Amino acid sequence: MKRTPIALNPKDFPYAFRSLIAGAEAYDSSCSPEARVIFIDRDGGMYLKSATRGALAREAEMAQYFHQKGLTGAVLDYFSDERDWLLTARVSGEDCTHADYLAAPARLCDLLAERLRVLHDTDGADCPVQNRMDGYFATAEENYRRGVYDLSYFTADYGDATADEAIATVREGRTYFRNDTLLHGDYCLPNIMLDDWRFSGFIDLGNGGMGDRHVDLYWGAWTLRFNLKTDAYRERFFDAYGREKITPELLRVVAAAEVFG
């Protein structure tokens, strides 16, 4: 996980965090322009994430739920003013993009599949987000209308296609998806924490909820290709997860939906 040393002025932050920040070593751990993430090296470590107003509400809700399941660190604070602010306890270890883990790709692949199967077998009857797929497909439709898309998410696995063809695939296939599985929602190597190969927790849970397992399966295969720079582990990943639970055509629909973010 990237950590770039930075100097912070407590007065630039909400009053609730000023004493926490004052005198502490701090590091920028941001990985996207949509949110700023600061690691505060105090009391075992914690992460302060900020984004536009309302953007972190679901992440805070899902992080609290996953913490209750023993699957992530504690939510220490969340509130929304001009911006959203989410403070969480550090999850021990390093994420799966650490060089030690990437150096053993077969082991990493198997662990990724096994941990996903454990997550998907977790009872999510009390999950606060019970119908993730409606929002998932609504986002695809909205971004199609706005002309926002990246065809590579589909073409990397299924060949050339246009945006019109991708949304047609989504519309034809969406009725086959269920909300029967507890999802991470962004199941990628940077969001899975290990401590000397022992699973310690998930992070970045804003896309989680009860949905269809094929969303996480798509991202698990995608992240192995992206981070290992090879597609050699795709089939191994599916084998380790359990082929009896996978419908290949639904992975194709997910790929089409991900074209539209």
What the chain holds in terms of domains, given with CATH numbers, is 4-89 (3.30.200.20), 94-258 (3.90.1200.10)
In the set 84, 186, 204, 216, the catalytic residue is 186
Write the pLDDT tens digit of every residue in 192-209. Answer: 999 999 999 999 999 999
Active site residue 186: yes
Q: Is residue 10 within 8 Å of 18, Cβ to Cβ?
A: yes
Write the pLDDT tens digit of every residue in 136-163. Answer: 999 999 999 999 999 999 999 999 999 9
* Whether pLDDT at 229 is above 70: yes
- pLDDT for the residue 2: 72
Token pair in block for residue 185: 């929602």
Average pLDDT over residues 113-124: 98
- pLDDT for the residue 137: 98
- pLDDT for the residue 95: 97
Which pTM was predicted?
0.95
Write the pLDDT tens digit of every residue in 21-75. Answer: 998 999 998 877 889 999 999 999 999 999 999 999 999 999 999 999 999 999 9
| Average pLDDT in the chain | 96
Q: Say how far apart CA 150 and CA 154 lie, in whole Å.
A: 8
Average pLDDT over residues 71-90: 96
DSSP secondary-structure letter at 39?
Answer: E
Q: Say how far apart CA 100 and CA 102 lie, in whole Å.
A: 6
Q: Say how far apart CA 119 and CA 121 lie, in whole Å.
A: 5
Q: Say how far apart CA 158 and CA 161 lie, in whole Å.
A: 8
* Whether pLDDT at 1 is above 70: no
| Three-state secondary structure call for residue 34 | coil
How many helices (DSSP H) and strands (DSSP E) are in the chain?
10, 11
- pLDDT for the residue 138: 98
Write the pLDDT tens digit of every residue in 160-192. Answer: 999 999 999 999 999 999 999 999 999 999 999
